[in-house]
Structure 1
Amino acid sequence: MTSVRVERDGSVATIVLDGATRLNPIGTKTCTAIAAAVRDLEADTRIRAVVVHGAGRAFSAGADIDEISGFDHRDQFEQFIHTFTDALELIEVSPLPFVAAINGAAMGGGLELALACDLRVVHAAGKLALPEAKLGVLPGAGGTQRLPRLLPRGIATEMIMLGRTITGARAHELGLANHLSDSPEAVLSDAQALAAELAAGAGLVPQMTKSLLRETAACTVADGIVRERAVATDLHASADGQEGFQAFVERRAPQFRKERGL
């Protein structure tokens, strides 16, 4: 079983998948632990950004095949998928920004976990794939929905239909990854630096960015702009918005609030 531990460093937290001997497979208990960690960090108003990291040499090899192979009937697999997708949805809708530190292979459910995060850091030789087609199935934890929204549809379709693997360098080239690290060892520190940068800004900006992009994903541009105007106005009226504009006028660094909220 892959356990989950949470490390805090000031306003940045790191959720660590701790099952390195088996490349951090994700089972039911892992999903439950991830969900509990997300809720706990949301309740801690000092935390402003979160990194998700895999212990050892992989981010995650994917869903726990040992657990799945023990299922006797359809309902057990269906319940597992529900638990998995519910945990990933918590990350996606969380007010906190999440950065995936993909220090090695992110396969199947491991990649689906990374896709639920807001930003991704990889290294050139990393391997990313949804290989379920090679087992005669399809991804079931959001991979068929999130990947085509982050990659050109044709490339995403190829990866899903054929289970093709792309490298970290290719993921960065395609825009799936936000940052390309020099080595696997540098991925975590680079991801934490990115999270620290997010944490140092106005606390409501990542939260409102996530909700705005999510709410307007299927809107027309005109309808999206209506929602954008409302969000921009709310942020301008917030304490951090007022401080940011005042600091600009006074030619000084803004002093944003240390905790999340208005």
Structure 2
Amino acid sequence: MSLPELHTLGLTEVAASVESGILIIALRSSRKMNSFTEKMGLDLTRVIQWGDANDQVRVLLLTADPKSPAFCAGADMEEVIKGSVLLGRKEDTEDEHRDPGGQVAMSIYNNRKITIVAVNGHASGSGFTSLQLPFDFRFIWAGAQITLPFLRLGILPESTSTYLLSRLVGQSRATSILLSNAKMQPSSPNLSILYHDILPNKEDVFPAALSFAKMISTNSAPVSVSYTKGLLHHPGQTIEENHLLDSRAMKRRGASKDGEEGLKAFMQRRSPNFPDTVSNETWYPWWKPRDVGHPKAKL
């Protein structure tokens, strides 16, 4: 099945381009400090899923327009008052509602490609939960202020953050972060473990993330990336079950064209050129994904 051209996706809240196998996505609603809107959520989900399905894309890199005063200031308050950005469709019941930030977070978390975020400004609410936690790698400006206002607003941390954060930093740190209502910086003892790199200058964050993206894109087999992420996110329930899963994965990968190319490149001391594609992979996913789409969409 052919994919639509990137420019036909109807993106308005984000800009997107592909450079050397890297899908660069930039939040560009600077007038509103890149506040998370319903349309931004739809744009992000659409372009992230496009990147997942495109074999030319090996890495997804999210950042914000460097001229913006914030990376993401959280949910757009005009839409919060209307109810759309937090509560979705008014006619939805509690069982039918799907958190917009969570939909974005899952599109990132379930993406088969490497995902990187370059946080080049302050982040509040969903600018932390939805737009940082689901990524494989996080780069951030040391001076960024991170604010989680959920409990003060009478709501709760969304975007699957209660699930993701405890897995990323541990239960104790996650509890301190989500329940303290404190403003934090990346160097905080509870937060610093979350970041791959903390950069002293705001303008250095994106270049550092892009350089890392180019390096990892060149040296990583896309199908092997998808297998590794799948095993991290969906391990066996016991060590024995996990052993069976990674044994099968190793057998498949070792016998693949990628496995042959990787060994040749190593012996010849050159960069590999992996031929296998994610779209042609037949074993992934080996688990049964749960359908979390809106129930009314299936009627």
Q: Partner residue of 1:98?
A: 115
- Once residues 105 and 80 of structure 1 are traced to their aligned partners in structure 2, the CA distance between those partners, rounded to angstroms, is 29
Mark the CA change 1:39 to 1:106 in structure 2 (over 3 Å): closer, same or farther.
same
Whether the aligned pair in 1 keeps the contact of 2:258 and 2:275 (CA below 8 Å) is: no
Match status 1:212 vs 2:231: yes
Name the aligned partner's letter for residue 30 of structure 1: M
Match status 1:224 vs 2:242: yes
1:142-176 Cα shifts (integer Å, max 9, x gaps): 11111111113112112111222331223797420
Q: Partner residue of 1:118?
A: 136
Q: Partner residue of 1:9?
A: 19
Q: Partner residue of 2:198?
A: 180
Whether the aligned pair in 2 keeps the contact of 1:48 and 1:259 (CA below 8 Å) is: no
Identity %: 23
Q: Partner residue of 1:162?
A: 180
Q: Match for 1:70 among 65, 82, 85?
A: 82
Higher relative contact order (CA 8 A, sep 6+): 1
**Match of 1:58, SS?**
coil
Match status 1:109 vs 2:130: no
- Once residues 262 and 14 of structure 2 are traced to their aligned partners in structure 1, the CA distance between those partners, rounded to angstroms, is 37
| Aligned length, in residue pairs | 260
**Match of 1:169, SS?**
coil
Whether the aligned pair in 2 keeps the contact of 1:130 and 1:164 (CA below 8 Å) is: yes
1:195-241 Cα shifts (integer Å, max 9, x gaps): 1122112222221111111111x722232222122222222122121
Whether the aligned pair in 2 keeps the contact of 1:128 and 1:165 (CA below 8 Å) is: yes
Matches within 5 A, 1:11-160: 11-55=21-65, 56-71=68-83, 76=89, 81-112=98-129, 113-160=131-178
- Once residues 172 and 206 of structure 1 are traced to their aligned partners in structure 2, the CA distance between those partners, rounded to angstroms, is 28
1:116-167 Cα shifts (integer Å, max 9, x gaps): 1111001222223432112222112111111111113112112111222331
Question: Where does the alignment leave 5 or more consecutive residues of structure 1 unmatched?
Answer: none
Question: Where does the alignment leave 5 or more consecutive residues of structure 2 unmatched?
Answer: 1-11, 282-299
Q: Partner residue of 2:274?
A: 257
- Once residues 228 and 175 of structure 1 are traced to their aligned partners in structure 2, the CA distance between those partners, rounded to angstroms, is 27
Segments ≥4 residues shifted beyond 4 Å: 72-75, 77-81
Larger relative strand fraction? 1
Mark the CA change 1:172 to 1:200 in structure 2 (over 3 Å): closer, same or farther.
farther
**Post-superposition offset of 1:106:** 2.0
- Once residues 251 and 75 of structure 1 are traced to their aligned partners in structure 2, the CA distance between those partners, rounded to angstroms, is 55
Larger relative helix fraction? 1
Mark the CA change 1:31 to 1:259 in structure 2 (over 3 Å): closer, same or farther.
farther
Name the aligned partner's letter for residue 47 of structure 1: V
Mark the CA change 1:165 to 1:231 in structure 2 (over 3 Å): closer, same or farther.
farther
1:171-198 Cα shifts (integer Å, max 9, x gaps): 7974201112231111111111121122
- Once residues 199 and 38 of structure 1 are traced to their aligned partners in structure 2, the CA distance between those partners, rounded to angstroms, is 17
Whether the aligned pair in 1 keeps the contact of 2:120 and 2:141 (CA below 8 Å) is: yes
Q: Structure 1 length normalisation: TM-score?
A: 0.89
CA RMSD of aligned residues (A): 2.6
Q: Structure 2 length normalisation: TM-score?
A: 0.79
